[in-house]
């Protein structure tokens, strides 16, 4: 059975990009035993008010979706920021297009326009607004399990087959998607989202406003074994935990190992791409960025504001100074002690020196042939 509600929602989004209160009309489709589905509908006039823009065209045109300018359809809103896509402005079927205030038209445009200081920034604001509405899930599924000793905050969401174990503490507005496992004694701060299939082992601490994407495992055992001569090896128990501070985002299918003793620590504002592995007792400083397939071995300490490109490997027990940049597929085998260096190669060294050396690497075969000829003459 399908029924419809029509309601008006007034709220203020507390994020850096959106600071004005605004009103949206949202159709709520209520399906039996399911979460509500939201379809936003708002006018060009409302959007212009949010963006502090000026309208050219029909201020009452109705918008229900967002689109790329080349894929616009009636009822959608798009934007033009990259000059490469300028010609689409005159052919798009989108009902509303955001453009820069200083853009000069060279022909007729069917769409209603909103002029703003920066079309790219304005559209990013709308995307964030849209995402907050789209992901605004609440309620606890009858198929979720929450231990009696667990404590949960207000307005949480727990999807189908989510598991929250003994003595876990879940903050306000936390979203736990289907098939997430939250182990014993785990702490999760306000406004954090765990997408489907995330596994959080016992004693992990996760801060506020974090996002952890599907398939990520946090708190699994570190890779540590002691050789026992002919008897093989003995596993070293890992009894520490993982601490993830506020405003951290972790991509899909990442692994962050618990410490042998103490804590593996991911500091405030760190951002991980997919398939990043952090070994036991690593400490990552504030506001670092990791592209996909980066691996850091045990007990390494990474400073603040570092940037690692894809497939970077860092050995264990080294120090990486603040603001270090490491290019793709580089291997770090010793500490980087001077802040702000750019490292390249495997083993990595100063990027400018590497580029000069690479000229000789490429010419190595011809150099060897020249040496061989000189040796034969001698």
Q: How far is residue 314's CA from residue 316's CA, in Å, rounded to a whole number? A: 7
Q: Are 53 and 74 in contact (CB under 8 A)?
A: no
Is residue 364 within a helix (H) or strand (E), and if so which, with residue range? helix 364-377
Work out the end-to-end distance of the chain between its first and last CA atoms, rounded to an integer number of angstroms.
94
Residue 280 appears among annotated catalytic residues: yes
Distances (CA, A) of 332 to 98, 314, 372: 45, 5, 34
The token pair that represents 197 in the structure block: 């299939």
Is residue 370 within a helix (H) or strand (E), and if so which, with residue range? helix 364-377
Residues in CB range of 59: below 8 A, 6 or more apart: 43, 44, 45, 48, 112
Q: Are 322 and 302 in contact (CB under 8 A)?
A: no
- For the chain, the farthest-separated pair of C-alpha atoms sits apart, in whole angstroms, at 94
Q: Which segments of 88-211 does DSSP mark as H helices, in order?
A: 119-134
Distances (CA, A) of 346 to 120, 311, 322, 327, 351: 38, 11, 20, 10, 11
Which candidate in 143, 213, 280, 317 is catalytic?
A: 280
Catalytic residues: 280
């Amino acid at each position: 059975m399908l029924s419809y509600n029509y309601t008006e929602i007034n709220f203020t989004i507390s994020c850096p990009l959106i600071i004005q209160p605004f009103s949206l009309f949202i159709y709520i489709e209520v399906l039996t035993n399911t979460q509500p589905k939201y379809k936003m509908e708002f006018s060009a006039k409302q959007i212009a008010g949010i963006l502090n823009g000026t309208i050219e065209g029909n201020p009452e045109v109705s918008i229900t979706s967002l689109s790329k300018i080349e894929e616009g359809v009636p009822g959608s809103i798009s934007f033009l920021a990259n000059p490469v896509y300028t010609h689409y402005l005159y052919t798009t079927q989108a009902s509303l297009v955001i453009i820069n205030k200083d853009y000069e038209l060279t022909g007729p445009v069917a769409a209603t326009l909103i002029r703003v200081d920066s079309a790219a920034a304005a559209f990013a604001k709308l995307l964030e607004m849209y995402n907050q509405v789209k992901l605004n899930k609440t309620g606890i599924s009858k198929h979720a399990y929450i231990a009696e000793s667990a404590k949960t905050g207000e307005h949480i969401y727990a999807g189908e087959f989510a598991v929250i174990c003994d003595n876990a503490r879940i903050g306000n507005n936390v979203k736990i998607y289907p098939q997430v496992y939250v182990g014993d004694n785990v702490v999760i701060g306000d406004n954090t989202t765990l997408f489907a299939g995330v596994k959080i082992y016992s004693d992990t601490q996760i801060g506020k406003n974090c996002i952890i994407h599907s398939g990520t495992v946090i708190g699994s055992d570190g890779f540590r074994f002691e050789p026992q001569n002919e008897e093989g090896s003995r596993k070293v128990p890992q009894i520490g935990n993982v601490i993830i501070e506020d405003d951290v985002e972790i991509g899909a299918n990442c692994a962050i190992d618990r410490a042998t003793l103490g804590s593996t620590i991911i500091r405030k504002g760190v951002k991980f791409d997919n398939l990043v592995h952090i070994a036991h007792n690593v400490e990552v400083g504030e506001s670092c960025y990791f592209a996909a397939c980066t691996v850091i071995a045990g007990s390494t300490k990474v400073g603040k504001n570092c940037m690692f490109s894809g497939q970077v490997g860092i050995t264990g027990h080294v120090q990486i100074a603040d603001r270090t940049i490491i290019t793709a597929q580089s291997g770090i085998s010793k500490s980087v002690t001077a802040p702000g260096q750019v490292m390249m190669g495997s083993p990595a060294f100063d990027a400018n020196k590497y580029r000069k050396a690479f000229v000789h690497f490429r010419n190595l075969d011809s150099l060897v042939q020249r040496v061989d000829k000189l040796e034969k003459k001698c």
